Amino acid sequence: MNSYQNLALLQNLYRLKSAGFKYIDQFSINHNAHYDKPLNLTQLTHNISSCHLCDLSKSRSQSMSGFGNENAELMIIDFNVSTNDDAKNEYYTGRSGETLKNMIEKVIGLKTSDIYYTHAIKCKTLNSNVPSSSEWESCKNYLFFQIEHIKPKVIVTLGKDAYAKIINEDKDFESVRGHIIDFNSYKLVPIYHPNFLLRNPESKKTTMQDLKTIKSCL
């Protein structure tokens, strides 16, 4: 059974659970059922907003599927939705968002409308907890569809967690940060998260060089 059949099955099970069902007797899965991938990002956004694959669907204010140009050459992936972004239902909020915006516009030389910005986990975690492995497993097909649909020249991951989940490797982050990594048919560059830079301003000079590396790839 493919991943999209799994998604549809899990969504139905969550609906049954929310309706009060605690046990379902033996049933068969229709292996002949055909579940298409989303046709476009608009349909994907709808699928994400109605997703019930993990417990975040119970606590979220809304889902945040992504923002920007779906034909972008540069795609930036954060790990999880910030409290500020969730509260305002906007991207590039707070000091971290402003820092990221300046990195894009003042160093790379693009507008935020030129790139595509999204999160690996599409809903804010409860009480700002670190997203769990099961939440990533529920969300990852949405992210990989976005990558497949947009086909950017360069993918930038913000921080250790986004890099580790997408690459599926738990390498020492310092050994890969700022390097150009072959990821399927894309160039991927991991950099420090803006929140890290706000806490460690001495690393801004290093990140400036990483941003120049990214710009050279475009």
**Do residues 146 and 177 share a domain?**
yes
Count: domains in the chain: 2
Same domain, 15 and 110: no
Same domain (yes/no): 165, 200: yes
Helices (H) and strands (E) in the chain, counts: 10, 6
Asked if 78 and 151 sit in the same domain, the reply is yes
Check whether residue 91 and residue 120 sit in a common domain. Answer: yes
Token pair 């941003």 is found at 211
Q: What is the domain-level CATH number for residue 62?
A: 3.40.470.10
Same domain, 131 and 146: yes
Please indicate, yes or no, whether residues 125 and 76 belong to a single structural domain of this protein.
yes
Q: Using an 8 Å Cβ cutoff, are 8 and 38 in contact?
A: no
* pLDDT score, position 8: 62
pLDDT tens, 126-147?
876 788 888 899 899 999 999 9
**156 plus 94 within the same structural domain:** yes
Task: Measure CA of the first residue to CA of the last residue in the chain; give whole Å.
Answer: 38
Please tell me whether residues 57 and 28 are part of one structural domain: no
Place of tokens 């669907």: 57
Give the C-alpha distances (Å, rounded to integers) separating 209 from 18, 60, 94, 202: 50, 37, 24, 13
Residue type, 131: P
Domain that holds residue 8: 1-36
The per-residue pLDDT for range 31-86, each reduced to its tens digit, is: 443 445 788 999 999 999 888 888 888 878 888 999 999 999 999 999 999 888 88
Alpha carbon distance 69, 73 (integer Å): 9
Specify the pTM.
0.82
